[in-house]
Structure 1
């Protein structure tokens, strides 16, 4: 898949989001963060690395941390290496950092109207709500809208991801 065009961050209307599957859940990541989507490629485990980013991958000559989003969202670990890798550019201050995550699959790119986003209940969610901006309904399915900036912050007391 080719690199996706960035979205103008000053826009307040609908935002294009990449919908991916992870552990049976539909998750949305704003397209403005998505650099590219690739097939799963070999990864290298890094000794003494952050538990959240235990692997590195080579994406077109660049070494990129592969983040274990399942761990962050308190989902069961993945027992296979197939799927898709979503390469993201995450702003951090004046800079942008490239990270990747392993998804079970990529479903579509869809427009999300901010007026349709529902807040999550403060209790009872099976995932940490600080990483999820809200949810929307799509054909009866719940789609969680991730907050990539907070999702990829290092865990308290752990090493930086890059």
Structure 2
């Protein structure tokens, strides 16, 4: 990983009390929580499907990929509908966030590599860490964080 990574405008959101960010260009919309239709034998990372305005989208559990406990839908919970490329195909993907914070600009100089010690998330899912105000924002590598695992690809 390089010391700085190109990263401009980002949407910040919370999971398990931590602030994360993804490029705002991947965000299609932010909506209230939706019912999830569980898919039989689905990988726990992508346990089901949601109906987003008539389009069926896979529902992913980013908390599971990051090694966090299960989400509890609360008053501030929101679903992020993301535009991603999965398996070479443009795909809408939905994920639950505990809270959506803000859209923020992050300069290259704000982004630092993860330290080798003290990180509880899989480092290959993280592009870097940005300092904003008095807090840290964990910037996700969207391709790594939302890509299917080899096991998921075999099930498809």
Answer yes or no: same fold by TM over 0.5.
yes
Shift of residue 127 of structure 1? Answer: 0.6
> Is the CA contact 1:40–1:81 (under 8 Å) kept in the aligned structure 2?
no
- Aligned residue number for residue 136 of structure 2: 142
Q: Residues 6-21 of structure 1: matches in 2 within 5 Å?
A: 15-21=8-14
The number of equivalent residue pairs is: 151
- Aligned residue number for residue 63 of structure 2: 70
Shift of residue 115 of structure 1? Answer: 1.6
> Is the CA contact 2:21–2:140 (under 8 Å) kept in the aligned structure 1?
yes
* Unaligned ranges ≥5, structure 1: 1-11
Q: Which moved more, 1:72-81 or 1:90-99?
A: 90-99
Q: Deviations over 1:63-112 (max 9, x none)?
A: 10110000000011113365100011112475322111100010100011
Query: Which one of 79, 91, 96 corresponds to residue 85 of structure 1?
Result: 79
* Unaligned ranges ≥5, structure 2: none
Deviating beyond 6 angstroms after TM superposition, the runs of 4 or more aligned structure 1 residues are none
TM-score (norm 2): 0.88
TM-score (norm 1): 0.85
Query: Which one of 29, 32, 36 corresponds to residue 25 of structure 2?
Result: 32
Distance in 2 (CA, whole Å) between partners of 1:157 and 1:117 is 32
Shift of residue 49 of structure 1? Answer: 1.1
- Aligned residue number for residue 154 of structure 1: 148
The CA RMSD measured in Å over matched residues stands at: 2.1
